[in-house]
């Protein structure tokens, strides 16, 4: 973040690390600095105000254990500044004799401060986005037995910050979350260590001997990190050095995959089950032209999985000589599957929301004369998906996404000349056999990328290995009675 001209809130700004970091921040030509702290340090405040006359600097009293204090301070800061760009949660207490207070200041305080700050910064609520930096500790990435309660609170801070950095949250709110983990830094926090440890029988020799960095060095590195940090990053600031922290993945949620298809491919199913033993994978027979079978399949999936988050309607049929079947599979099948899936996923009906991805085609965005019936059915899919993404289903919490693959090397497009309704010779420019094809693997990888990033109502062209969001021209606006 380029700090010049920014509005900053620093919680704990008069503490050991806070004072030095605020001074460093002020050197970057901030527009404003609001210090939230338990007590005012008038001397420091006036020194800053006279040294940095172009920056609006003020203090607001906040006891971080009192939610009402935090709310009032953010409200006043926003009233005075208009908006906030950067928040640093830098207050802290290390004293394991006071269990409740340790958790209240270090963890609850950070959680409350973040969530209240978001009320003003969240782009989806009219804010301008920005960055929230939470000061955790080395004790927040490595269990520190001498300070077990403090260490627990700081692990909580690290985790909470990493959770809020979840990319889909960032996409919606536009607020980046960054974790800072200082090592031992010479501040009042470390005073009387021996009295503040969890168990008296321990001697804090290890801590006494641990190398300490001056707060000035920590502050300089801290501001360097703020200037370059990306959402979700965590930084170790120890013995005068800066190091980005990499976290091992300790757990991934158990997945489940229900495959609905006309016929079972037992070999593939067994291969998947062996390769992904932690994923519940099962097959359910569905002839998509039979509504009762679709209903039954979703019912079974719901019973076995509890809920489903993602549905991909990927069935398809291409043979223009069989008009009814083409429309039944490609269009009616998608419509029925969407509406039945919605019954289970719709939040307003007790579902959990999610995403429904319908696989249309390039033939669903551009008339494709060689396969006119198929093209008509796929245009129907595109339109139906875009309709469901509209306001009528907003309360369902289900987003609808269209995927339009170009020619992809599957059996669907083999011998195209035998699958048309035309008896005459196919002109070269319409000859599907001569069109470039992408591999199934590339197409599959791009479908997953779409699932990971697509917003409700978006449509995606997946052609010749490339991925492109489709923009639709507005073809008609209803003329209204005045
Ligand atoms: N000093 C270290 O070795 C070290 C190491 C790792 C992490 N940290 C973390 O760095 C941050 C700053 O610590 P420091 O070393 O500068 O300590 P410090 O004791 O000098 O400063 C702590 C700050 O927190 C504020 N604070 C405490 N209780 C509060 C409350 N109830 N309401 C509002 N503010 C309150 C204090 O007023 C002070 O400004 C803390 O989060 C601390 O846990 C420090």
Contacts of residue 146, defined as CB under 8 A and 6 or more positions apart, other chains included, come to 197, 198, 202, 204, 206, 207
Distance CA 246, CA 234 (A): 8
| Residues 15-56: tens digit of each pLDDT | 999 999 999 999 999 999 999 999 999 999 999 999 999 999
Q: Which two structure tokens, joined as six digits, stand for 298? A: 């979703």
Indicate which residue's Cα is closest to atom 19 of ligand 1: 189
| Residues 324-364: tens digit of each pLDDT | 999 999 999 999 999 999 999 999 999 999 999 999 999 99
> Can you give the pLDDT at residue 203?
66
Distance CA 208, CA 302 (A): 57
For the segment 307-326, the average pLDDT, to the nearest whole number, is 95
Residue 380: name the closest of 338, 435, 335 by CA: 335
Q: Is 150 a catalytic residue?
A: yes
Q: Catalytic residue among 10, 59, 120, 150, which?
A: 150
| CB-CB contact of 136 with 179 (8 Å) | yes
Angle at 38 between CA 37 and CA 42, to 5 degrees: 70
- Which pTM was predicted? 0.69
Quote the longest CA-to-CA distance of the chain: 94
Q: Is 108 helix (H, G, I), strand (E, B) or coil?
A: helix
**55 DSSP 8-state letter:** S
Q: Which atom of ligand 1 is nearest to the CA of 106?
A: 41
| Mutational test site, ligand 1, from 44, 62, 92, 213, max ligand atoms within 8 Å of CB | 92
Q: Which atom of ligand 1 is nearest to the CA of 63?
A: 32
Distance CA 282, CA 452 (A): 23
What are the structural domains of the chain?
7-244 (3.40.50.720), 286-469 (3.40.50.720)
Q: Which two structure tokens, joined as six digits, stand for 384? A: 């139906």
Instruction: Find the range with the poorest average confidence among 107-111, 305-309, 366-370, 465-469.
Output: 366-370
| CB-CB contact of 96 with 196 (8 Å) | yes
Distance CA 27, CA 177 (A): 23
Buried b / exposed e across 152-174, counting CB within 10 Å, b at 16+? bbbbbbbebbbebbeeebbeebb
Q: Which residues line ligand 1 (CB under 6 A)?
A: 12, 14-18, 37-38, 62-65, 90-94, 105, 135, 137, 182, 184-185, 187-190
| Mutational test site, ligand 1, from 10, 11, 13, 17, max ligand atoms within 8 Å of CB | 17
Distance CA 446, CA 401 (A): 14
Q: Does residue 208 register a pLDDT over 90?
A: no
Count of beta carbons in the 10 Å neighbourhood of residue 19 = 21
| Residues 164-201: tens digit of each pLDDT | 999 879 988 999 999 999 999 999 998 988 899 998 87
């Amino acid at each position: 973040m380029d700090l010049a001209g920014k509005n900053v809130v620093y919680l704990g700004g008069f503490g050991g690390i806070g004072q030095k970091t605020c001074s460093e921040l002020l050197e970057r030509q901030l527009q404003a600095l609001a210090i939230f702290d338990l007590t005012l340090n008038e001397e420091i405040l006036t020194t800053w105000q006279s040294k940095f006359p172009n920056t609006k600097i003020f203090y607001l009293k906040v006891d971080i254990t009192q939610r009402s204090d935090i709310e009032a301070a953010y409200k006043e800061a926003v009233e005075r500044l208009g908006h906030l760009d950067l928040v640093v949660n830098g207050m802290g207490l290390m004293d394991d004799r006071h269990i409740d207070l340790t958790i209240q200041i270090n963890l609850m305080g950070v959680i409350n401060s973040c969530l209240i700050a978001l009320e003003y910064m969240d782009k989806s609520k009219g804010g301008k986005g920005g960055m929230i930096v939470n000061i955790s500790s080395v004790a927040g990435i490595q269990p520190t037995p001498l300070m077990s309660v403090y260490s627990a609170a700081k692990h909580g801070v690290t985790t909470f910050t990493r959770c809020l950095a979840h990319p889909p949250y960032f996409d919606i709110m536009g607020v980046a979350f960054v974790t800072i983990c200082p090592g031992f830094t010479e501040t009042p926090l470390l005073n009387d260590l021996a009295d503040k440890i969890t168990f008296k029988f321990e001697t804090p020799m290890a801590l006494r001997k641990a190398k300490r960095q001056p707060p000035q060095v920590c502050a300089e590195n801290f501001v360097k990190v703020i200037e370059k940090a990306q959402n979700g990053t965590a930084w170790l600031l120890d013995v005068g050095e800066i190091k980005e922290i990499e976290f091992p993945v300790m757990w991934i949620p158990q997945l489940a995959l229900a495959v609905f298809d006309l016929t079972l491919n037992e070999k593939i199913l067994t291969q998947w089950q062996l390769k992904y033993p932690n994923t519940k994978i099962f097959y359910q027979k569905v002839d998509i032209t039979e509504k009762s079978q679709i209903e039954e399949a979703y019912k079974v999936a719901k019973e076995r999985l509890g809920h489903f988050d993602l549905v991909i309607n990927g069935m398809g049929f291409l043979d223009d000589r069989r008009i009814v079947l083409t429309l039944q599979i490609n269009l009616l099948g998608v419509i029925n599957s969407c509406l039945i899936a919605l019954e289970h996923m719709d939040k307003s009906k007790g579902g959990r929301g999610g995403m429904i991805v319908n696989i249309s085609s390039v033939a669903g965005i551009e008339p494709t004369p060689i396969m006119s019936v198929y093209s008509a059915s796929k245009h129907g899919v595109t339109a139906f998906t875009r309709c469901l993404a509209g306001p009528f289903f907003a309360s369902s919490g289900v987003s609808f996404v269209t995927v339009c693959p170009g020619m992809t090397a599957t059996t669907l497009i083999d011998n195209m000349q035998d699958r048309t309704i035309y008896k005459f010779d196919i002109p070269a420019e319409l000859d599907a056999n001569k069109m470039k094809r992408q591999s199934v693997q590339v197409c599959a990888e791009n479908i997953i990328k779409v699932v990971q990033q697509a917003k409700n109502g978006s449509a995606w062209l997946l052609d010749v290995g490339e991925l492109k969001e489709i923009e639709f021209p507005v073809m008609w606006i209803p003329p209204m009675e005045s």
